[in-house]
């Protein structure tokens, strides 16, 4: 009971800190923070696949990019489209794509699944680059954020501050929903399926259906992140749907740590900050990210969150003996 | 329809290239159960090394065709011995992540050293000339690519099915623990196969250089096509790789002729169809 209350308090405190940020940070940094929040959601959705279900996908950017493009296309082609409808269009596209392609991709597991997701990501990329009349091809699409209509009032989102609050509330809520999802029966099913699928089948679970639901869900969450990415930059380039974007989310998730729910959030922080500062110093920053990634794969498979936890344990001297934590540690694969 | 022989031969040349890349990939997968994402990066390294060799020793195409596979054999062996073997303990996901990370690093290194723009490799002498064939004049070089691929395919098949080494390799594929118990040095075999796959890929890179341009995106381009070859042909099947390479090479080539707008999607459509009808691929064993 007290654990639940602690979590509740933590969430409230984090939101309050987030709400205070526009008064503390400069516009440049607030912009960066907004980007971090969006990518944190993207990374969290990726970790639901990689960390919780043990599915290594190299095609997560297809949902992210698809939603980003659908949102931008909606705003450009439908005059007077409300913000909510634009978000819904993006989300719906990701759900449909997740369901259809999930059915196809999940016919295989392991290395085969990884290969297929990469191939389908390339298909999405190829379509985006060739279908110039709709996606703008290499030029990308630029648009203006519509204002937020609440029914009784209209909030202008052209400036960053209000849009930041919208992101904080919606994307933050989505992250919390993902966290909640991992504690539902469905979330537990996925976790147990990774550990012993055979047994879950014997217990009467239809593991294929569970996996498809999870895949569609993570696709939708990635789609929401993509929608906000489009709204944030007010511009969508084909890089949003490229394999490079998948690589980025993979690096964030893995560097942050797949074993903990908050690992990918930390990873998004580190990645975006490194991207912003290292790219000022050297053009070669992706090389450094790659080297960090490979070192982590070889020596610290739990990522930064593993380091933090082991330091924490050394200081406090007590291992977290909660059963759930031990279970989540197993998520380090 | 005078174009048909041209496009047919174009398709054959690309099929040859695809086979060289996917053969190594499918061998390594069949044997070690590792999907090597860095495989195409080896191909790219082969092309770039060849470019550098031919810059310093003009026109020494044959020299680079000999030297580059050797360099990549060594690189492959080192990667297997010091990186992949370490990741192997942590399981499959870790291995995939490692090869993916290596591909990423190699691509960045290539961009750093050689620059992020296409480099042209020119071929001279007999290979750079044209010959009359099927009533058209056709570049010798493309025929040469197909001949190389066919030659290597035959040699591979001979080694795998006619020699003692082939028996050991196939035994290691089938049940590596049993092979290990029977006195086969399985880790050594794995290292050899991985290094050989890298060398094969490097060889493909060298001959791809003059055909396609040498640029940092070339690895990803061929990787996707090689993946499609593996999906269509069936995992770990050399015969499947041959048929699927031909199929995809010709499909790409005629796709440009018949449906210029859809040419890229055709390959994926074929893959999706195979996935729906026969998920294990044309020649793959049922899982």
Nearest-Cα distance to chain A for B58, in Å, is 31
Q: Which residue of A has its CA nearest to B265?
A: A123
Most confident stretch, A36-45, B43-52, B123-132, B214-223? A36-45
- Closest partner residue to A243 (CB to CB) among B94, B96, B220 is B220
Out of B87, B98, B231, closest to residue A115 by CB = B231
Q: What are phi and psi of A134, to 5 degrees?
A: -100, -45
Residue whose token pair is 């082991």? A310
Give tens-digit pLDDT for B47-62.
Answer: 999 888 888 776 678 8
Q: Does B164 touch chain A if contact means CB atoms closer than 8 Å?
A: no
On chain A, the residues whose CB falls within 8 A of the CB of B235 are 112
Q: Give the residue from A50, A294, A296 with the most B CB atoms within 10 Å of its CB, the best one to mutate.
A: A294
> Minimum mean pLDDT among A319-323, B43-47, B142-146: which range?
A319-323
Give the closest-approach CA distance of A252 to chain B in angstroms.
Answer: 13
pLDDT at A171: 93
Contact across the interface for B93 and A54, Cβ inside 8 Å: yes
Chain B residue whose CA is closest to A290? B105
| Smallest Cα distance from B108 to chain A, Å | 6
How high is the pLDDT of residue A327?
Answer: 44
The number of helix segments (H) and strand segments (E) in chain A equals 15, 4
Residue B241 contacts residue B282 (beta carbons within 8 Å): no
**A to B CB pairs, distance under 8 Å:** 96
Residue pair B283/B240 in contact (Cβ under 8 Å)? The answer is yes
Of A288-302, B46-60, B141-155, B219-233, least confident by mean pLDDT is B46-60
Long-range contacts made by residues B63-68, C-beta under 8 angstroms, separation at least 24? B64/B206, B65/B203, B65/B206, B65/B207, B68/B202, B68/B203, B68/B205, B68/B206
pTM score: 0.85
Give which of A128, A297, A301 to mutate to test B binding, by max B Cβ within 10 Å: A297
Tell me what the mean pLDDT of segment B261-266 comes to: 75
Rounded to 5°, angle at Cα B76 from B237 and A252: 90
The two three-digit tokens of residue A188, written as one number: 């537990």
Contact A256, A268 (CB under 8 A): yes
**For an interface test with B, which of A58, A59, A123 has the most B Cβ atoms less than 10 Å from its Cβ?**
A123
Report the gap between the CA of A19 and the closest CA in chain B (Å): 37
Residue of B nearest to A254 (CA): B97
A interface test, pick of B94, B101, B259, B284 with most A CB neighbours within 10 Å? B101
Over residues B266-286, the mean pLDDT reads 79
The pLDDT tens digits of the residues spanning B65-94 come to 888 899 999 999 999 888 888 888 777 888
A114 vs B contacts (CB less than 8 Å): 35, 96
CB–CB of A107 and B33 under 8 A? no
Residues A161, A165: Cα–Cα separation, whole Å = 7
pLDDT at A229: 94
CB B97 to CB A254 under 8 A?
yes
Distance to chain A for B124, nearest Cα, Å = 34
Long-range CB pairs of B187-191, under 8 A, 24+ apart, other chains included? B187/B85, B189/B31, B190/B31, B190/B32, B190/B80, B191/B77, B191/B80, B191/B81
Helix H or strand E encompassing B244: helix B238-258
Q: How many residues does chain B have?
A: 287
User: How would you write the pLDDT of chain A (333 residues) with one tens digit per residue?
Assistant: 567 788 888 888 888 888 888 888 888 889 899 999 999 999 999 999 998 888 889 999 999 999 999 999 999 988 888 888 999 999 999 999 999 999 888 888 888 888 889 888 988 888 888 888 888 878 888 888 888 777 777 777 778 888 899 999 999 999 999 999 988 888 888 888 888 888 888 888 888 888 999 999 999 999 999 999 999 999 999 889 988 899 899 999 998 988 888 999 999 999 999 888 888 887 788 888 889 889 988 888 888 888 898 888 888 876 554 444 444 444 443
pLDDT at B24: 87
* Predicted local distance difference test score (pLDDT) of residue A329: 44
Angstroms from A106 CA to nearest CA on chain B: 10
Query: pLDDT (tens digit, 9 = 90+) per residue, B101-124?
Result: 999 999 989 988 888 888 877 777
**B272 vs B226: which has the higher pLDDT:** B226
Flag whether pLDDT at B232 surpasses 50: yes
Contact: B224, A122; criterion CB under 8 Å: yes
Tokens of A140: 């990308």
Instruction: Tell me whether A103 touches chain B (CB under 8 Å).
Output: no
B56 at A interface, C-beta within 8 A: no
As to burial, measured by CB atoms within 10 angstroms (0-12 exposed, 13-18 middle, 19+ buried), residue A17 is exposed
Instruction: Give Cβ neighbours of residue B139 (< 8 Å, ≥ 6 apart).
Output: B128, B129, B130
Q: How far is CA B108 from CA A280, B41, B45, B199, B219, in A?
A: 17, 10, 12, 21, 12
> What pLDDT is recorded for position B280?
79
What gap in Å lies between CA B91 and CA A321, rounded to an integer?
Answer: 26
Candidates B149, B151, B142; CA nearest to B123 is B142
| Cβ contact, residue pair B35, A111, below 8 Å | yes
Identify the residue among A61, A119, A132 best suited for mutation to test binding to B, counting B beta carbons within 10 A and taking the highest.
Answer: A119
User: Of B227, B264, B268, which is closest to A115 when you measure between CB atoms?
Assistant: B227
- C-alpha pair distances (Å), A258 with each of A175, A243, A245, B252: 15, 20, 18, 39
Residue B106 CA, distance from chain mean position: 17
Q: How far is A112 from chain B (nearest CA, A)?
A: 8
Angle, CA of A18, A235 and A288, to the nearest 5°:
70
* Residue B27, pLDDT above cutoff 90: no
Per DSSP, which regions of chain A are E strands? 141-142, 148-149, 154-155, 235-236
Residue found under tokens 């593993």:
A306
Q: Residue B32: list chain A partners with CB under 8 A.
A: none
pLDDT score of B86: 85
Residue A130 burial (C-beta neighbours within 10 Å; 0-12, 13-18, 19+):
middle
Contact (CB<8Å) A294/B264:
no
**Residue B101 forms contact with A (CB below 8 Å):** yes
Q: Is B55 on the interface with A (CB under 8 A)?
A: no
Q: Which residue shows structure tokens 């070889």?
A: A298
């Amino acid at each position: 009971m007290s654990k639940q209350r602690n979590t509740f308090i933590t969430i409230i405190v984090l939101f309050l800190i987030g709400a205070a940020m526009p008064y503390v940070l400069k516009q440049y940094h607030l912009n960066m923070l907004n980007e971090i929040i969006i990518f944190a959601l993207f990374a969290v959705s990726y970790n639901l696949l990689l960390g919780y279900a043990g599915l290594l996908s190299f095609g997560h950017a297809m949902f992210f990019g698809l939603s980003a493009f659908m949102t931008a296309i909606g705003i450009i082609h439908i005059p007077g489209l409300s913000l909510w409808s634009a978000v819904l269009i993006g989300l719906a596209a990701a759900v449909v794509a997740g369901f259809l392609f999930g059915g196809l991709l999940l016919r295989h597991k392991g290395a085969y699944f990884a290969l297929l997701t990469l191939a389908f990501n390339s298909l999405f990329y190829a379509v985006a680059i060739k279908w110039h009349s709709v996606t703008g091809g290499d030029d990308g699409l630029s648009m203006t954020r519509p204002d937020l209509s609440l029914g009784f009032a209209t909030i202008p989102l052209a400036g960053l501050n209000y849009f930041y609050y919208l992101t904080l509330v919606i994307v933050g809520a989505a992250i919390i929903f993902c966290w909640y999802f991992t504690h539902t029966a469905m979330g537990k099913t996925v976790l147990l399926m990774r550990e012993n699928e055979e047994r879950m089948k014997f217990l009467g679970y239809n593991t294929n259906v569970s996996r498809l639901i999870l895949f569609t869900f993570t696709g939708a969450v990635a789609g929401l992140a993509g929608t906000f990415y489009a709204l944030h930059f007010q511009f969508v380039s084909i890089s949003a749907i490229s394999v490079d974007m998948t690589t980025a989310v993979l690096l964030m998730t893995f560097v942050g740590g797949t074993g903990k729910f908050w690992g990918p959030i930390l990873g998004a922080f580190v990645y975006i900050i490194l991207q912003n500062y290292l790219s000022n110093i050297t053009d070669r920053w992706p090389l450094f990210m790659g080297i960090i990634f490979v070192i982590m794969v070889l020596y610290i498979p739990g990522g930064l969150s593993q380091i933090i936890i082991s330091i924490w344990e050394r200081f406090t001297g007590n291992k977290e003996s909660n059963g759930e934590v031990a279970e989540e540690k197993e998520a380090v694969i | 329809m005078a174009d048909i022989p041209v496009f047919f031969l174009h398709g054959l040349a690309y099929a040859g290239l695809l086979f060289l890349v996917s053969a190594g990939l499918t061998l390594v997968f069949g044997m070690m159960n590792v999907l090597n994402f860095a495989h195409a990066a080896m191909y790219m390294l082969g092309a770039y090394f060849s470019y550098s060799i031919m810059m310093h020793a003009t026109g020494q195409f044959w020299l680079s065709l000999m030297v580059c596979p050797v360099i990549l054999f060594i690189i492959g062996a080192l990667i297997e011995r010091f990186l992949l073997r370490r990741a192997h303990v942590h399981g499959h996901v870790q291995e995939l992540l490692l090869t993916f990370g290596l591909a990423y690093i190699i691509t960045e290194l290539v961009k750093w050293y050689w620059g992020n723009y296409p480099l042209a490799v020119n071929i001279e002498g007999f290979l750079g000339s044209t010959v009359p064939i099927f009533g058209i004049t056709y570049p010798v070089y493309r025929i040469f690519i197909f001949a190389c691929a066919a030659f290597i395919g035959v040699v591979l098949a001979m080694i795998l099915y006619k020699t003692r080494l082939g028996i050991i390799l196939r035994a290691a594929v089938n049940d590596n623990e049993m092979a290990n118990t029977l006195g086969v040095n399985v880790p050594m075999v794995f290292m050899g196969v991985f290094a050989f796959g890298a060398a094969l890929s490097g060889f493909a890179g060298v001959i791809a250089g003059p055909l396609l341009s040498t640029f940092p995106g070339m690895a990803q381009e061929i990787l996707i096509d090689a993946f499609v070859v593996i999906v269509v042909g069936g995992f770990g099947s050399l015969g499947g790789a041959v048929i699927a390479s031909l199929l995809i090479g010709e499909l790409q080539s005629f796709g440009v002729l018949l449906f210029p707008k859809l040419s890229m999607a055709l390959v994926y459509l074929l893959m999706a169809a195979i996935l729906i009808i026969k998920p294990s691929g044309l020649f793959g064993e049922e899982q």
